[in-house]
Structure 1
Amino acid sequence: MIPIPPPGPRLFGPLLAELRSARGWSQQRVAAELCAASGVPTLTRHEVSRWERQRRLPGDFWLGWLAVVLGVPGELLAEAAAHSRRLGAVPAAVDRAGSRARLALLTLAHRWAADPTGAALGGPLAGHALTGPAGGGSRPDREPAGPAPDLVPDEPPLAGVTGGPAGPVPGRPAASAGGDLAELRRWDDLLGGADLAGHGAQRLRRTARAFTVAGPAGRRRLLPGLAESAQLAGWLAADAGDLTGGLDGYRLALRAAVAAGDPAFAGHVLGSASHLLAGAGDPVGALTLARIGYAGARDAASPGLRALLLHRVAFAVALAGRPRAARPALDAADRTGGPEPGREPPWLYWLDEAELAALTGRTLVALGRPGPAVPLLGPAARGRDRPRRAAVYGGWLARGYLQLGEVAGACAVAGEALLDVVRSGSPRAVGQLTEVRGRLAAHRDEPAARRYAGLLTAARPYLPVGAAGGPGAARSRRPPSKPRQGGTTRSAGTG
């Protein structure tokens, strides 16, 4: 077993050299192990040498694989890399907000890929992790029944649940998480993360509190609900613009799903996280999570989930600028077909043919193929009863029209999507229209572009502000106790 260095700030280069020497490996051996584990054959010993000399620091992708091949916590390497950057020991590197949360999730995903039984995930669920996005995300303006008690600050063990495969609970569906969780999912059909992130975090806190005080049998029974609560809290935090909160929620959801013996839901969690990283401008991380999620869930997934995960792969590949690899993934998703009634899990109720068509259209726009994309995006973008979905795909439809040179059409679609953003309260959807606004800059003198600019100015006071605007910036409304009559039974997509 490789000894873990003592706690405290370490420089990355010396730490890597120490860990390599403890294994008796050469730099060439480290490079070979990384290539074999990651499936990327181009890394050489020269790159490992640069890391050790701190001429360069590895990004999240290689940090995750280094943790796997060296058998050390990903946080150890991430902290050393961050310390080296702070001291100016290496040239400045791109370090987006939430990079440590991304690295932690990537490391966990790599470990699950290496050992699907879950033994490689090891260790108890941390008390900090159990708070999920609640730790720094927004909270609802009013608590339903007083403040939730603090969770146990230390790391409560899973009493044998996380040390290896746990298997599903006899007599209990793996997706069961309580009626209030299902209700919150359906409110997500109508409202965005700016309204619901605090409620999702609160739901996760309640589930985590029950988990920490339960005995071994109770914890096993609560694992599926904990996984679903964490996934939904992560999704809502991400939709509110809280990248770190979203990734923290997904990390807890992955651990709980694997401990519950539910690889299908674990794959869904990684697909949701891939969706988040793709929107955050990290296509490499998005592709890594999407591929691991599909590989780990493929044998257990329903047809609809397999198609969704293949779409996650195709989109990440497209954003990474690899069109030849995106087409096979899209073709595979198409061959898988759509959701099959009676075979899909309850948490995937929102996936329908229109959603899958829009996912294909979005990827085609990312590939610069607007012709076939526009008709695929149209139905989802014009669904007024699902405002967030209409806003998000409306942004992609507007980009498709711009690629076709149809500025007036793009502005008309973007204007409709802008109203849907206001209706839904989704900061994530605002990001799509921000992209459209930037692309319209080249056409600012055209009448349609000027009209859209005026509409955007008028709507600005009503646009949702999420976690990116600062702690507690997300507005929140308390949902009624029951969904409104005639509300949607299909969703804008809960991830």
Structure 2
Amino acid sequence: MGSSIGANIRRERERHGWSQSRLAREVCRLAGVIGEPVGRQEISRWETGKRKPREWLPLLAAALGVPVDALTGAGTPPEPPLPSLDDYLPEGDPLAPLTARRGRRVGVDAVRDLQQRVHGLRLADDVIGGRDLLRPALRELRSAVRVYREGTFTEVVGRSLLQAIGELAQIAGWIASDAGQHDQAERIYRLGLSAARTAGDTTLAGNLLGSLAYQRMNTGDVREGLTMARAALENAHDAPPRARALYLDRVAWAHAKRGEAQEAMRAVNAASDALAGHGGEDEPGYLYWVDAGELQVMESRVYTELRRPLRAVPILREVLSRYDATHTRELALYLSWLVVALADANEPEEAAATAERVVALSADVSSERTAERVRVVLTRLEEFRDVPEVRAVLDSAA
């Protein structure tokens, strides 16, 4: 019984996208206690079955918004808990080589194989949601760090290994963020930053810091996100054009989230100018997806965030008319911005039709990003509940 309770607690916590620390805070808040008699470690013990919540069970259920029976029921056999970097990385510098290496010799072929697996993970992320992809991503990261720490190799191969670990950390962090595991994602991004800096790869470091900045912006810490995005831009003077365009896009988004219209549009225009300089230069493979269409998406999102629907709607429609329908998550996300823009333009019937599509697409993707956008869309439509088409969508979603 204890193990099934633990699995149910973990399932409901992950459904909310909460860390164990967040759940502990919610339980203490509901209990009205001073201090933290329940902390992250206690939540971990409950989830792994090492302890039973006992008198805390009703408060756990209340914090998670479920009946007690939902936590005590047997449910389906749980998967083992997700590993975290803390489970398999050493104290201190996680990339520090072992004092006496005894592992196999690592050559360029092993590095090339790792790079191919990293790129395969990126391509998988285009079509698979974060909750489904997180486990394999973490396994790859654990394996790559172990190779670096235990293997023997030349200086050149070591630098290539660090770059591959940095790239792997970027996509693994992105996947963790998409799964709603934001604390985990930040730890992964910071591991990647350590690898990129050790390798002397400022472009990769900028991409990692920008990815962390983007997560910060979208989880409420916009001020720090803007600081990070600016640092990523300013510290990568030799970055290729598409990398600079990506960094500038993140700066633009931060300004838009802060309601700073002029600064946001300057960054959008600068990103377009940077992309115009792209052509034949040597650049990392992870920039493959940065193109004019992606910049248009960010421009439309900036206009939507700034409540300028007459500019946002035409751009979004143009982008969506040619978007790859197999990229379900991104399609749902972009459509969600169109819903908000249409609502701002006082077009509730069309917004409702688009929202219905967003909800349907999101049901097929194990992504916290799309789940959150569904919540945003439905909240935005509430003011039009008297419109029959809107009411039908809201009632169906409820």
TM above 0.5, yes or no, is yes
Identity across matched positions, percent: 34
Matches within 5 A, 1:79-478: 151=88, 153-155=90-92, 177-215=114-152, 217=154, 219-297=158-236, 299-337=237-275, 340=278, 342-343=280-281, 344-381=283-320, 383=323, 384-457=325-398
Give the Å deviation of 1:293: 0.6
Give the Å deviation of 1:235: 0.4
Q: How many residues align?
A: 306
**Deviation readout 1:208-235 (Å, 9 max, x if unpaired):** 1112213474643410111011111100
Cα distance in 1, alignment partners of residues 177 and 225 from structure 2:
14
- The range that moved more, 396-405 or 214-223, is 214-223
Cα distance in 2, alignment partners of residues 381 and 314 from structure 1:
21
Q: Which letter does structure 1 place at the counterpart of 2:274?
A: T
Classify 1:315/1:171 alpha carbon distance in 2 versus 1 (closer, same or farther; 3 Å).
Answer: same
Higher relative CO (CA 8 A, sep ≥ 6), structure 1 or 2? Answer: 1
1:151–1:212 contact (8 Å) kept in structure 2? no
Cα distance in 2, alignment partners of residues 334 and 402 from structure 1:
28
Matches within 5 A, 1:61-76: none
Cα distance in 2, alignment partners of residues 254 and 274 from structure 1:
13
**1:398 is paired with a residue of what secondary structure?**
helix
Classify 1:152/1:185 alpha carbon distance in 2 versus 1 (closer, same or farther; 3 Å).
Answer: closer
Higher fraction of helix:
2
**1:304 is paired with a residue of what secondary structure?**
helix
**1:197 is paired with a residue of what secondary structure?**
helix
1:399–1:410 contact (8 Å) kept in structure 2? yes
Normalising by structure 2, what TM-score?
0.70
Q: Which runs of 5+ in 1 are unaligned?
A: 1-81, 87-91, 98-139, 161-169, 458-495
Q: Which runs of 5+ in 2 are unaligned?
A: 1-24, 30-34, 41-77, 98-106
2:95–2:145 contact (8 Å) kept in structure 1? no
Give the Å deviation of 1:351: 2.1
Cα distance in 1, alignment partners of residues 334 and 95 from structure 2:
41
Cα distance in 1, alignment partners of residues 257 and 289 from structure 2:
25
Classify 1:247/1:182 alpha carbon distance in 2 versus 1 (closer, same or farther; 3 Å).
Answer: same
Cα distance in 1, alignment partners of residues 276 and 125 from structure 2:
22
Classify 1:370/1:152 alpha carbon distance in 2 versus 1 (closer, same or farther; 3 Å).
Answer: closer
**1:287 is paired with a residue of what secondary structure?**
helix
Q: Which letter does structure 2 place at the counterpart of 1:319?
A: K
Cα distance in 2, alignment partners of residues 249 and 374 from structure 1:
36
2:96–2:149 contact (8 Å) kept in structure 1? no
Give the Å deviation of 1:334: 2.1
Cα distance in 2, alignment partners of residues 441 and 379 from structure 1:
27
Give the Å deviation of 1:397: 1.0
Cα distance in 2, alignment partners of residues 402 and 157 from structure 1:
48
Give the Å deviation of 1:265: 1.0
CA RMSD of aligned residues (A): 3.1
